[in-house]
């Protein structure tokens, strides 16, 4: 299915959900043994750790005081404070999900579909750029897909390559970019291999690699999975 013009459409959250789901079903059966894929809002596996879940401490709660004791002094840490000067909605929990691939309890790859809210203001661009960069700095491979061309003056592909101190021609969204973290480089750091493709409205989407190791990658069919997502979201 040709790529829609997301400047003219609404309903991205639904397409994002269905696309990530279809990407999961595309990738999971193609993984080598001992690899597993999962979908989450943040990685639940440590990049270098072996534990898949944090330790949980269970605490017993004391019985509530009897009714006749309610006039007793209130402990300092339970004091009732005066009304706030202002209460307004400014912080939004990030509900966006991504697709992760783990090998023996270690995060090895991430696939992120960029949403408009990931780049609609400087603070969001900075936060998500750090998130994407942190995958590479910790040795996890990355596939980014951005079908939203606004803002016209910003591209996560360009911003990542600037942070990595790699000189490449500018690539505006919509775009797809894959990053493979390789062996240590003689001059320090690690080799990073990059695949970049410009996406075009009304044209089919390409296949892109999702690296798992330096020698292994899955060919991800963005066109097939996007078509299924658009159908599920009633965009066809």
105 part of a folded domain: yes
Alpha carbon distance 87, 71 (integer Å): 29
**Rounded CA separation 212/140 (Å):** 8
- Assess if residue 120 is contained within a domain: yes
In this prediction, residue 45 has a pLDDT band, given cuts at 50, 70 and 90, of: very low
**CA gap 168, 72 in Å, rounded:** 69
Q: pLDDT tens, 175-225?
A: 999 999 998 888 778 899 999 999 999 999 999 999 999 999 999 999 999
Q: What is the pLDDT of residues 136-166, one digit of tens each?
A: 999 999 999 999 999 999 999 999 999 999 9
Q: Is residue 54 part of a domain?
A: no
Q: How confident is the model at residue 23 (pLDDT cuts 50, 70, 90)?
A: very high
Measured CA to CA in angstroms, residue 236 lies from 4, 10, 24, 176, 229 at distances of 10, 14, 21, 23, 10
Euclidean distance between CA atoms 95 and 92, whole angstroms: 9
d(CA 88, CA 48): 39
Give the span between the Cα atoms of 21 and 39, in whole angstroms: 8
pTM, two decimal places: 0.79
Residue 6 lies in a domain: no
Q: Place 71 in a pLDDT band, splitting at 50, 70 and 90.
A: low
Q: Give the β-pairing of 106-113 and 141-146.
A: parallel
Domain count, the chain: 1
In a domain, 68, yes or no: no
| Segment 77-118, tens digit of pLDDT | 555 556 666 655 554 555 679 999 999 999 999 999 999 999
Place of tokens 């989407």: 205
Q: Residue 163 domain-assigned?
A: yes
Q: How many residues does the chain have?
A: 236
Domain enclosing residue 226, as ranges: 12-45+94-232
Report the 10 Å Cβ neighbour count for 133.
17
């Amino acid at each position: 299915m040709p790529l829609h013009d997301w400047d003219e459409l609404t309903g991205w959250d639904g397409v994002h959900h269905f696309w990530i789901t279809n990407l999961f079903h595309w990738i999971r059966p193609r993984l080598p043994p001992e690899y597993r894929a999962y979908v989450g809002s943040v990685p639940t596996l440590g990049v270098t750790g072996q534990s898949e879940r944090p330790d949980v401490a269970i605490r017993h709660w004391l019985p509530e005081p009897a009714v006749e004791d309610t006039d007793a002094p209130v402990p300092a840490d339970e004091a009732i404070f005066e009304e706030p000067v202002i209460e307004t909605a400014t912080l939004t929990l990030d509900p966006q999900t991504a697709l992760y691939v783990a090998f023996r309890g270690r995060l090895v790859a991430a696939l992120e579909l960029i949403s408009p809210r990931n780049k609609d203001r400087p603070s969001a661009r900075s936060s998500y750029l750090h998130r994407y960069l942190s995958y590479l700095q910790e040795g996890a491979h990355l596939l980014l897909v951005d079908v939203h061309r606004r803002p016209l003056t910003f591209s996560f592909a360009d911003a990542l390559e600037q942070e990595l101190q790699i000189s490449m021609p500018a690539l505006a969204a919509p775009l797809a970019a894959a990053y493979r973290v390789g062996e240590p480089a003689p001059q320090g750091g690690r080799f990073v291999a990059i695949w970049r493709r410009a996406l075009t409205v009304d044209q089919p989407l390409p296949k892109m690699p999702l690296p798992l190791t330096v020698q292994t990658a899955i060919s991800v069919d963005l066109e097939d999975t996007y078509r299924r997502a658009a159908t599920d979201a009633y965009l066809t």
